[in-house]
Amino acid sequence: MIHFCLAHTAYHFSRRLPKRHRLRLQFAIFALGIAAFIFQLYILLRPRSSHYCGLPLLYNLVGSIIFTFFTIGLALLLVMLEPVPWELKTTFFIFGGASFAKGVCTIVFTALATQCAKTTPELYYLSVTLSVSSLVSTAFFSVLGLFWLVNMVFPGLILNKETKTGICYEPVSECGCLWHI
């Protein structure tokens, strides 16, 4: 879920900036995305990464590279467009579901591939890093989703922007970006 989290963070960070500074953010997103892509490609092309590993960590890395491309593209589109069209929002949430599934696969493969730390150490430790970051971002969105769900069932309990009340009004009043896309 880390890929969804990165694009989501870029979107909300861009909304906190004045419009004249968003071009700089677009360049930063592009540069960081390309750096992540090059790093993953470097790990993929390492001779030791092609050694035998009982689980498909190499294929998982290829999937991560593909998701990195989508993350860069979606983040740039979300930063550029205002307002964001509903088609892009729908695509973004589908990407979030796919990113969640990818994160679960990464966590499962990494947990079962402890023997790969000896044969393909770079690949294994990159997979551990992606697993931990996916787990942290999934936990964040799970808590956020729980708050959103409670607010849908009991309107205004968690957040009511009109009356400026609710359990989460104070934290969200400073950064409304925590609440929605």
What is the per-residue pLDDT across 35-89, written as a single tens digit (0 to 9) for each?
999 999 999 888 887 777 878 888 999 999 999 999 999 999 998 888 889 999 9
Q: Is the residue at 111 inside a domain?
A: yes
What pLDDT sits at residue 166? Answer: 66
Domain count, the chain: 1
What is the per-residue pLDDT across 5-35, written as a single tens digit (0 to 9) for each?
999 988 888 888 888 888 888 899 999 999 9
Q: What is the mean pLDDT of the chain?
A: 85
Q: Is the residue at 150 inside a domain?
A: yes
What pLDDT sits at residue 172? Answer: 57
Q: How far apart are CA 172 and CA 74, in angstroms?
A: 24
Q: Print the domain residue range for 125.
A: 2-155
By C-alpha distance, which of 2, 125, 131, 101 is closest to 53? Answer: 125
Identify the band that residue 97 occupies on the pLDDT scale cut at 50, 70 and 90.
very high
Q: List the alpha helices (DSSP H) in the chain.
A: 2-16, 22-45, 57-80, 86-112, 116-119, 121-153, 169-174
Judge contact between 53 and 119, C-beta under 8 A: yes
With a CB cutoff of 8 Å and minimum separation 6, the contacts of 178 are 12, 144, 171, 172
Instruction: Evaluate if residue 155 carries a pLDDT over 60.
Output: yes
What pLDDT sits at residue 110? Answer: 93
Q: Is the residue at 172 inside a domain?
A: no
Identify the band that residue 159 occupies on the pLDDT scale cut at 50, 70 and 90.
low
Q: Is the residue at 180 inside a domain?
A: no
Please give the model's pTM, rounded to 2 decimal places. 0.82
